[in-house]
Every structure is written in structure tokens, then in C-alpha cells.
DNA sequence: TGTACATCAGTGAACGCGCGTTCACTGATGTAC
DNA sequence: TGTACATCAGTGAACGCGCGTTCACTGATGTAC
């Protein structure tokens, strides 16, 4: 063989990581395979020796990218963080301004709802992981059911607020939305 | 002239209403002008005697469609409704299953964040109307600032929850998300 | 009242372009002898 | 050790298709005389 043993796997990983950023930045329908391959340093023709279709790339991106629902820019080593810290990091100006490094759900939830079932299932797995993370940061006194309800509500709130903050052109209003989301999410976490 | 005085205006209105549904159902990038015109009972060539571009259609749809952030299927005559009623209607199975008749923000927020400034401004106007509606349903004892913060948080929560409920293929989990959103939004409204 | 003309909303063929996908080919390397 | 061959990740031209957009045309009607 021409290349090291791990070469093809590394290329595949590079494509996945590039796709992961581009999908979040431009949307799934908003970015083409030729552009993704180009930004991964390759030509478009080689795509199909790694993936069978664009749809499969989307699914693999959701299921193989390392925990992308937990934004790269806020990821920490090891143990889970305080819920307050998670909420403030999620609803930060930095996260708002860097969707390509941020939460998949905030960038893609609308589009995911229109994707084929397989893609929606891959997304659901990711969502459940993120919800479980949030549950771990909640008071251990709560029942499992209460924790899950609160985690779902906190995630809905912060994802919704982040999306809205990204739609508003005026930065003052945008930051007002972030702040309202932080207060509400903290309220849910504490109640 | 061939047609009644109001004919052209009526056709334009028909195109706007069709576009309004199709954008919410398929996404802005997900639907073509030829399909929109076809579903409005016209051929695609006539489009440009009504609008200068697809982008202008998007902007006009956001600014001219009658209050689409307040879903058609839940719209009532006259005065504002109770916040609880709004929240339960918004996070209903019917709204989840009919995005084409439902809230613009839940259907399009992700995509709007990637649109040109003019489109984002038109969307912001719509969002502000919806927020003002929610404020009117909150306790009059609250300060204007507190009302606005709560309204923003409630809207973030219900919009986020609705979007997530639409991504999940399993209806039980989907309804669990709706219910968690309802409880959290009611909690914010009452606090 | 009847005929000729002007109007203009809507038609449908055509444009260049980028999309997802296919495929014959390249060329650097490992293996066989 | 040196030569011939097999491998296969990656290349780039080409495919049919649908997109947004343009434009010469149609044909039903209102107006002028």
C-alpha cells in the first residue's frame, strides 16, 4: 500500500471533522460535498471511498464526532461540571459567535426535524447523552424522573435562547436574550 | 387590463401564503421557487413580476404574512389569551405535527441565523411582536424589564422544546419533551 | 355598436451554475521472485 | 539487491438534475375612435 496503515482512517476522520464544522456553520443543505472535501484538503471524487452518500456522512458526523453537543470551545477534561457553569458557557457570547465549534442542536435542530429517520435517530442519541450530562449536575435529592424533566427543560431553554440570540442582528438585544436564558435555566436548575 | 383591479394583489398574496407554508414545512433552502409557484397554481416565470428575488420573497413573507409567529391553528379572535393557554397550545402535539401552520421561529430560527441582515431584521420584528404578546399575559405587578426577561425566557423554552420534540422519532420521548417544556414555561410565568 | 389597438399578468423555453454521484485513471508504495 | 507487478487512496472530467433568474411571447380584456 501507498500509505501508512492508519492513513485512510485518518483521512476519514479529517473529513468527518471538517463536515462537522461546515454543517454547523452553513447548515446541512447549505454546504456541498465538494466544499467539504476541499476544506479537508482533498478533491471531491474521493468522497465515495469513505462514505456511501451525503446522508451517510451526516449520520456518521452525528454518531462519530466526539460528543459535539458539548461544545469544543467549552469542553473540559474529565469529570462533569457544575450546571451553572455549563449554562453560562452555553449562553456565552463566544458560543453564540462560533456555531461551527458549538452545539449541534442549536445549529441544526430545525433541519434535523426534516431529515430521514436514521439521521433523526442518530441525533436523538446525541441529545440523550447531553441530557444525561445535565442530569448529573442536578441535585441528587431529585427523583430520576424529576431530573430528566428538568434537564430536558434546561436544554430546551438554553438551546432556544442561543438560537434566538443568533438570529438577532442587534448585539444588545442578542445579549439580553442570552441573559434571560441564563436566569431562566438557573431557575429551573435550582427549583 | 385583463383582470380585476385587485387581481395582481390577490395573486401576490396567494404566493406569499404558499411560500409561508412551504418555507415552514421544507425550510427556506429546502423549497424552490418553481415548487412554490406551482403550489400557488401558477408557473414559475411569473414570479419576478411580483418579487425581485427569492431573498425578497423571504423578507416579505416574514414582514407581510399576518402574525405568523402566532400559529394559525391556535389563533383566536380579538384579545390576548392567558399565558398558560398560549404555552399549552404552543407545546401541543398538533403544533408539533403541523410546522407549516405553526410558529416561524420554531421552523426557521436556525436558518434565519445564516440569512442576510435584512432577513434577520424582518425576523426580529416578528419576534418582538410575539414577545410583546407574551408580556401582556404576565402579571401586571412585574416591572417592564422583568416582564420582558420572562417573556424572552418563556419563548426560548417553548421554541426550543418544540424544535426538539420535532427531531425525536419516538413519539413518547417527543411528548415527554413537550410536557417538560410546558412545566418549565409555566414555572417561569408564575415565578 | 363595431373594429383596431394597447395593456400587462401570466407562460414556458432557455441561461449558467452548483449539486450529488460515477468512473476511468494516476502514481507512490509494498510484495513477489 | 534489482526488477516487474499488484494495490488502492486519491484525482478530476463527466453525468443528469434542479436551482434562481431572464426574456420573448400569449391572449383576454379595456380603451379609442
- Summarize pLDDT for A101-153 with one digit per residue, the tens: 999 999 999 999 999 999 999 999 999 999 999 999 999 999 999 999 999 99
pTM of the model: 0.93
CA distance A30 to A105: 16
pLDDT bucket at B76, cuts 50 / 70 / 90: very low
Q: CA of B158 to nearest chain A CA: how many angstroms apart?
A: 7
pLDDT at position A68 is 46
**What is the mean pLDDT of the segment spanning B121-131?**
96
Q: Judge: A180–B150 Cβ closer than 8 Å, yes or no.
A: yes
Report the percentage of chain B scoring pLDDT > 90.
Answer: 85
- The reply to whether A116 Cβ lies less than 7 angstroms from strand C is no
Q: Which nucleotide is nearest to B52 (CA to C1')?
A: D21
- The reply to whether B33 Cβ lies less than 7 angstroms from strand D is yes
- The reply to whether A53 Cβ lies less than 7 angstroms from strand C is yes
Residue B143, judged by CB atoms within 10 A of its CB (0-12, 13-18, 19+), counts as: exposed
Q: Distance from residue B20 (CA) to nucleotide D29 (C1'), in Å?
A: 32
- Summarize pLDDT for B89-112 with one digit per residue, the tens: 999 999 999 999 999 999 999 999
- What rounded mean pLDDT belongs to chain A? 92
Displacement of CA A12 from its chain's centroid (Å): 20
CA distance A102 to A94: 9
pLDDT at position B81 is 73
All 3 cell numbers of residue A170?
442587534
Neighbours of B75 (CB within 10 A): 13
pLDDT at position A88 is 97
Q: Distance from residue B9 (CA) to nucleotide C7 (C1'), in Å?
A: 17
- The reply to whether B48 Cβ lies less than 7 angstroms from strand D is yes
pLDDT bucket at B77, cuts 50 / 70 / 90: very low
Residue A67 has pLDDT above 60, yes or no: no
B contacts of A164 (beta carbons < 8 Å): 105, 109, 127, 152, 155-156, 159
- Summarize pLDDT for A146-180 with one digit per residue, the tens: 999 999 999 999 999 999 999 999 999 999 999 99
CA distance A77 to A69: 15
- Summarize pLDDT for A71-95 with one digit per residue, the tens: 545 544 444 579 999 999 999 999 9
A contacts of B166 (beta carbons < 8 Å): 109, 113
Amino acid at each position: 500500500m501507498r500509505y501508512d496503515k492508519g492513513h485512510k482512517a485518518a483521512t476519514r476522520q479529517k473529513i468527518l471533522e471538517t463536515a462537522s464544522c461546515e454543517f454547523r456553520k452553513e447548515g446541512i443543505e447549505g454546504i456541498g460535498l465538494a466544499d467539504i472535501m476541499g476544506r479537508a484538503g482533498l478533491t471531491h471524487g474521493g468522497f465515495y471511498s469513505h462514505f456511501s452518500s451525503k446522508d451517510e456522512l451526516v449520520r456518521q458526523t452525528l454518531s462519530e464526532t466526539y460528543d459535539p453537543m458539548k461544545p469544543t470551545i467549552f469542553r473540559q477534561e474529565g469529570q462533569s461540571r457544575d450546571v451553572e457553569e455549563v449554562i453560562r458557557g452555553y449562553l456565552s457570547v463566544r458560543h453564540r459567535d462560533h456555531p461551527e465549534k458549538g452545539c449541534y442542536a442549536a445549529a441544526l435542530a430545525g433541519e434535523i426535524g426534516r431529515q430521514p429517520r436514521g439521521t433523526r435517530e442518530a441525533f436523538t442519541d446525541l441529545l440523550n447523552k447531553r441530557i444525561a450530562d445535565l442530569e448529573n449536575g442536578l441535585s441528587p435529592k431529585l427523583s430520576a424522573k424529576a431530573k430528566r424533566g428538568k434537564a430536558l427543560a434546561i436544554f430546551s431553554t438554553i438551546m432556544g435562547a442561543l438560537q434566538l440570540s443568533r438570529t438577532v442582528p442587534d448585539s444588545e438585544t442578542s445579549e439580553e436574550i442570552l441573559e434571560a436564558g441564563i436566569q431562566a435555566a438557573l431557575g429551573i436548575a435550582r427549583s
